[in-house]
Amino acid sequence: MRKNTWKFVSLFVVALMLFGACTPAVTPAPTEPAAPAEQPAAPPAPPAEPTKAPESPPTAPAASEASVTVVHYFSDTLGKETVTKIFDSFTKESGIKVIDNTTGHEDFKAQILVMLAGDNPPDLFSYWAGARVQFVVDSDRLEPIDDMWASEGLDEVIPPAVVKGSIYNGKKYLVPFGYHYAALFYNPKVMQQVGITEFPTDWEGFLAMCEKIKAAGVTPIALGSMNRWPAQFWFDYLLLRTAGPEYRAKLMAGQAAYTDPEVQKVMEMWKELVDKGYFVKDANAYDWTDASDQVANGKAAMTLMGTWITGYWNGNGLKPVDDYDFFPFPTIEKGVPNAVVGPVDGWVMSAGAKDKEASKKLMTFLVKNTDASATWAKGQGALSPNKNTDPSIYTAVMTKASAEVAKAEVFAFNYDLATTPPMAEGGLNMFAQFMNDPSKYQDYLVETENVAKEVFKK
């Protein structure tokens, strides 16, 4: 009897082993919730006011029930609510049903992969403009939309800097839905306390400001690099402001080396900031919301972050201008084209989309309908890629952000969207190493260049 019990237990264990050790190898889709988002997750934003649904009578094409299936990563409560509202108004206007099969934000990456691999893709899905879309385009999984772009006159609607993010291998694939801009967000009360009234436009001014803040007993810069990506904006801006956008584009494409003097210089400047004690201690222990809180409660003066931080702060009851504001990353080398950094969220159509016409109608609606773009920008704390979006939906801070982007000569995607995914992994890793111990940055650059050699097969 006892013998049997142990036999049973051991068989049970073996069964566990087989299921446990082998199946994740095959279908490693993570099912754990609440994962820290790698990309700036659609952050909590102020409750969106109910927007007036266009009251036009449903002009539904009488017969066939057309429908479009979509999957997206706007899966937090507010994001999902807002996007559903937009889909509903589209259905009202066009009679085309939208079937939303969205799961979690972090699940999205695995989900879309599995759907594409299984030849069962949604008609439309949200994706990050830049190297990630390029990757799917190169895998022959997306449908170009040049005809629709031309017939709908989207060049008239979308600013040229953002249009660039829609073009891959010479064709248009993505309609932008919202974008963000990274800048130095600060706490005006702290700045006032330490006696800073003017914000620096050059590097010397920036260093002097940090010194002044530090002397007053406040940490100048908050950074929460636990999930690595928040550190990338420092690398991005330092590189764009010294070597310039052209060199950076080369580095992102594997045509320049991480061991180049241009990159060394960036790391040296960044190291100087860390060595002087301008950054918070243990940046890797905090996430971006921790860093935002440190600025909000006055422990730190500023943080380099995307405009989604305004949504987070508004949600916590902070008031734009009074409680937070921003200034653009200062100029370092004169004569380098003025670039801004940020991500663009967009929609792409699968090559295997079942109803391409209906899908194009929805894509057009998402970018062109000003009610939809206003609802989205307001709900997400994002900037609208549609020039005709009512500017009064923005807070004063967002209006200023929009103006900064309009002034810029180049719109550059942040690091993890600018370079191919395996390279981004290597680079983000380097940033985390750097924040832990900047003294060995030379070694990290060599390691990162080794990754680049493997990725770009030089």
Partner 1 sequence: MAQSKRFWRIVFLSLPLLFYAVIVIIPLTSSFYYSLTNWNGFSKTSDFVGLANFAKVSRDPLFLNAIRNTVIWMVAAIVVPSGFGLAIALVLHQGVRGANFFKSLFYLPICLSLAVIGQVWIWVYHPDWGLLNEILRLIGLQEATKAWLANPGTALPAVITAWSWQQVGLAMVIYLAGLTSIPAELTEAAEIDGANYRNLLRYVIIPLLSPATVVVIALSIINSLKSFDIVYIMTQGGPFHKSDTLAMFMYVESFKKYYMGYGSAISVVLFLIALVVIIFYFRQVQALEHLYD
Residues that bind partner 1 (CB under 8 A): 2-3, 5-7, 9-10, 13-14, 16-28, 30, 32-36, 38, 109-110, 113, 116-117, 119, 135-136, 139-141, 226-228, 282-286, 421-422, 425, 429-430, 432-433, 436
Tell me which residue of 455, 383, 445 sits closest to 422, measured CA to CA: 455
Task: Return the number of the residue (11 or 396) whose C-beta is nearest partner 1.
Answer: 11
Q: How far is the CB of 386 from partner 1 (least distance, A)?
A: 29
Q: By the 8 A CB rule, do 42 and 78 touch? A: yes
Task: Return the number of the residue (183 or 428) whose C-beta is nearest partner 1.
Answer: 428
If you count them, how many residues does the chain have?
458
Task: Return the number of the residue (21 or 62) whose C-beta is nearest partner 1.
Answer: 21
Listed in sequence order, the residues at least 6 apart from 239 whose beta carbon sits closer than 8 Å to its beta carbon are: 247, 248, 251, 262, 263, 266
Q: How far is the CB of 111 from partner 1 (least distance, A)?
A: 11
Q: How far is the CB of 145 from partner 1 (least distance, A)?
A: 19
Name the phi and psi angles at 442, rounded to 5: -60, -45
Q: CA 320 to CA 137: how far, in whole Å?
A: 39
Tell me which residue of 73, 86, 80, 81 sits closest to 128, measured CA to CA: 73
Task: Return the number of the residue (101 or 436) whose C-beta is nearest partner 1.
Answer: 436
Listed in sequence order, the residues at least 6 apart from 35 whose beta carbon sits closer than 8 Å to its beta carbon are: 104, 105, 106
Q: How far is the CB of 286 from partner 1 (least distance, A)?
A: 8
Rounded to an integer, what is the distance from CA 207 to the centroid of its chain? 28
Task: Return the number of the residue (4 or 56) whose C-beta is nearest partner 1.
Answer: 4
Q: How far is the CB of 156 from partner 1 (least distance, A)?
A: 33
**Distances 444 to 279, 441, 450 between C-alpha atoms, Å:** 20, 5, 10
**Pairing state of beta strands 344-349 and 174-179?**
antiparallel
Q: How far is the CB of 128 from partner 1 (least distance, A)?
A: 13
Task: Return the number of the residue (290 or 323) whose C-beta is nearest partner 1.
Answer: 290
Task: Return the number of the residue (157 or 424) whose C-beta is nearest partner 1.
Answer: 424
The encoded tokens of residue 110 equal 């695995």
Q: How far is the CB of 359 from partner 1 (least distance, A)?
A: 19
